[in-house]
Amino acid sequence: MATEPKQLRLAFGADVHTQMSITWQTQQPVDSPVVEFGETPALGRRAAAERVSYPYETGVVYRALMSDLKPGQRYYYRVGSAQGGYSRAYAFRTPQQGLHDFTFTAFADHGTTRFSIQNSRNVAALNPTFHFIAGDLSYANGRQPIWDTYLEQLEVLAARVPVMVSFGNHENERIGEQRIGYIAAETRFAMPNKGQYYDFTLSNARFVAFNSNERDSEAQYQWLERTLQNARRDRDVRWLIVFAHHPLYGSTQRRGNNEGMIRRFQPLFDRYRVDLVIHGHDHVYERMYPMRNNTAVVKQGNRYKQGAGVVYVTCGGGGVSLYDLAPEPTPWTAKRERIYCYLKVRVPVRGALRVEAYRVDNTPIEAFEIG
Ligand SMILES: [Fe+2]
């Protein structure tokens, strides 16, 4: 049916505890599109959707905001319209308010392969508070219907768990000779600040996402510095976690360390004692020992003192393809593997932050702790 709602995806609203946005697409426009939601399968509340569009759209994109939600509450919902039909019913949970332990998941370089789909299933099964994709989402590369395939495949995860993203090089699209930039990703994902740079806070953790394609943007850099500084001045923030597509350090056949990224961001991450930085771009799993001044502060073990150094993790094995590793790792590489992967991160109120890296077949790659 041309009015069937597809590609359902949740994202945090501006208030992560009480708002959730839902975006979907139909082939043909419908009258009065809505999200119906409530604390029981009987639903009971509704919010009108607005149409969002961009010049190269492949259908009709609708977005609605569910607000005045209770923190830590399970909600049921469906989207659609009386005339055009409704989606199946899904459920999600809003984050708890105040201090609490929680889990999030992440990967990057996702794509539309069977590994991409399996990886979405893997993280959905963990029921994280949110999932983060650190850039290179659909690999549409200008072919807009690929976005539809990608977002239909993502529904298994994104209709149940809010998915937050940062942009990679593949979000900066061109159609033929024409550069269309980030407009597809920006329209299709309901991110704060159109997905360029933003932060949000859960419990005692501040999450900071930025667009590493725009490495030289002064506005972004100044925002990033201010945001990291504010986080470290905030006594309620214990964990400072950054997402950006391009890694600083790495050892694949096609790329080594990224000197431009290092020059620009290493001083900031050191100065504000970022705990964990999550990247993609290199389609492998590669993790550094805690780093300070471009060198590892320790080169053994898997339990590190918080504040001793910044731990960089690249999980670019989201599903699209894999790169060969260079013969030699970097001098600071703690673990690397040419494998499809995902991260499960446990963020505690007390005790250590725990990062577990898994292969797409759910076998463990490694685990480490900071705290
Ligand atoms: Fe990339």
Ligand 1 centroid vs 328 CA: distance in angstroms? Answer: 22
Say whether pLDDT at 340 is over 90: yes
Under 8 Å between Cβ of 122 and 360: yes
Ligand 1 centroid vs 282 CA: distance in angstroms? Answer: 7
Listed residues: CB within 5 A of ion ligand 1: 136, 168-169, 281
Ligand 1 centroid vs 217 CA: distance in angstroms? Answer: 18
Ligand 1 centroid vs 257 CA: distance in angstroms? Answer: 14
Ligand 1 centroid vs 345 CA: distance in angstroms? Answer: 22
Ligand 1 centroid vs 77 CA: distance in angstroms? Answer: 34
Arithmetic mean of pLDDT, 76-99: 97
The rounded distance, in Å, linking the Cα atoms of 366 and 351 is 19
Q: Of 89, 77, 98, which is closest to residue 17 (Cα–Cα)?
A: 98
Q: What does the pLDDT look like over 209-225, one tens digit per residue?
A: 999 999 999 999 999 99
Ligand 1 centroid vs 115 CA: distance in angstroms? Answer: 17
The rounded distance, in Å, linking the Cα atoms of 82 and 65 is 19
Ligand 1 centroid vs 167 CA: distance in angstroms? Answer: 9
Ligand 1 centroid vs 168 CA: distance in angstroms? Answer: 5
Ligand 1 centroid vs 124 CA: distance in angstroms? Answer: 23
Ligand 1 centroid vs 64 CA: distance in angstroms? Answer: 30
Percent of the chain with pLDDT over 70: 100
Arithmetic mean of pLDDT, 114-118: 98
Ligand 1 centroid vs 66 CA: distance in angstroms? Answer: 33
Say whether pLDDT at 1 is over 90: no
Compute, in degrees rounded to 10, the torsion defined by CA atoms 324, 329, 334, 338: 10
Ligand 1 centroid vs 297 CA: distance in angstroms? Answer: 28
Ligand 1 centroid vs 139 CA: distance in angstroms? Answer: 10
Ligand 1 centroid vs 172 CA: distance in angstroms? Answer: 10
Kindly state the helix (H) or strand (E) to which residue 266 belongs, with its residue range.
helix 259-271
Ligand 1 centroid vs 8 CA: distance in angstroms? Answer: 25
Ligand 1 centroid vs 163 CA: distance in angstroms? Answer: 19
For residue 270, the model assigns a pLDDT of 98
Arithmetic mean of pLDDT, 255-271: 98
Helices 259-271 and 218-233, interaxial angle, to 10°?
Answer: 30
Ligand 1 centroid vs 134 CA: distance in angstroms? Answer: 9
- Cα separations in angstroms, 39 against 71, 88, 363: 12, 16, 35
Ligand 1 centroid vs 12 CA: distance in angstroms? Answer: 24
Q: What does the pLDDT look like over 4-50, one tens digit per residue?
A: 999 999 999 999 999 999 999 999 999 999 999 999 999 999 999 99
pTM for this entry: 0.98
Ligand 1 centroid vs 121 CA: distance in angstroms? Answer: 22
Say whether pLDDT at 333 is over 90: yes
- 206 phi-psi bin (left φ>0, alpha ψ -120 to 50, beta other): beta
The rounded distance, in Å, linking the Cα atoms of 183 and 9 is 18
Ligand 1 centroid vs 308 CA: distance in angstroms? Answer: 29
Ligand 1 centroid vs 185 CA: distance in angstroms? Answer: 14
Ligand 1 centroid vs 132 CA: distance in angstroms? Answer: 15
Ligand 1 centroid vs 33 CA: distance in angstroms? Answer: 35
Arithmetic mean of pLDDT, 217-240: 98
One-letter amino acid identity for 199? D
- Domains contained in the chain, CATH given: 6-93 (2.60.40.380), 102-370 (3.60.21.10)
Ligand 1 centroid vs 208 CA: distance in angstroms? Answer: 19
Ligand 1 centroid vs 212 CA: distance in angstroms? Answer: 10
